[in-house]
A and B are shown apart, each in its own frame.
Chain A
Amino acid sequence: DSGVTQTPKHLITATGQRVTLRCSPRSGDLSVYWYQQSLDQGLQFLIQYYNGEERAKGNILERFSAQQFPDLHSELNLSSLELGDSALYFCASSGDPGQGFYGYTFGSGTRLTVV
């Protein structure tokens, strides 16, 4: 157990629908990162939050949004889903950047299948 918790583990939904993926970071970590893993695109950075504030944005579609709550858990919202959104979505966390950057701890991912 890495300490980063993602729910649900699997999600099957229809095109056009909206889903919410949830992530609880490792205890003490303030930063949360979301990544999408697909066969053709590899691991793509979506967005980063630090202590409730958005810090960095990657290749995140306008149909996708995220937030980090006061208890530091984060949610990734995916709307108007398309078949191409089927992928593994990973959350990762890291500690206080003032202490240096030493990489991430990853959750086990949410596998999204859009049918």
Chain B
Amino acid sequence: AQSVAQPEDQVNVAEGNPLTVKCTYSVSGNPYLFWYVQYPNRGLQFLLKYITGDNLVKGSYGFEAEFNKSQTSFHLKKPSALVSDSALYFCAVRDLGSGYSTLTFGKGTMLLVSP
């Protein structure tokens, strides 16, 4: 089965500094990778995806992610963090275990951006 790991439960960063939220994956075949963000009392919102092509993927709200096949990683990055970026971030991978596409999510990383 496919899986993703988010090694950090929480990431703390000061506003204006660059941020990185880590994700590693384990898949058989070509990976389809996703990042979602969840604000308090809200559903998950799509940020970006990697399916094929350029290893640097740009997404919503100034976020980007770098796909690294040799390190099986898909880290989420932003050059300058905002306090409003504080939220729960989920990495996900497409799972074809049933023969149909579903998403398997990591446990999530809480990002706290301090003023």
Contact = CB atoms under 8 A, between A and B. Distances in A.
A105 B102 contact: no
Contacts of B99: 56
Interface residues of B, number: 25
B6 to A, nearest CB: 10
Contacts, number: 59
Interface in A89-108: 90, 92, 94, 97, 100-108
Nearest to B42: A108
A101 B45 contact: no
27 contacts: A2-B43, A42-B106, A42-B107, A42-B108, A43-B90, A43-B108, A55-B100, A56-B98, A56-B99, A56-B102, A57-B98, A90-B44, A92-B44, A94-B101, A100-B51, A101-B101, A102-B49, A103-B46, A103-B49, A103-B92, A104-B44, A104-B46, A106-B36, A106-B43, A106-B44, A106-B45, A109-B42
Q: Which 7 A-B pairs have the closest CB atoms?
A: A56-B98, A106-B43, A101-B101, A43-B105, A108-B43, A106-B44, A42-B107
Interface of A: 2, 4, 33, 35, 42-43, 45, 48, 50, 55-58, 90, 92, 94, 97, 100-109
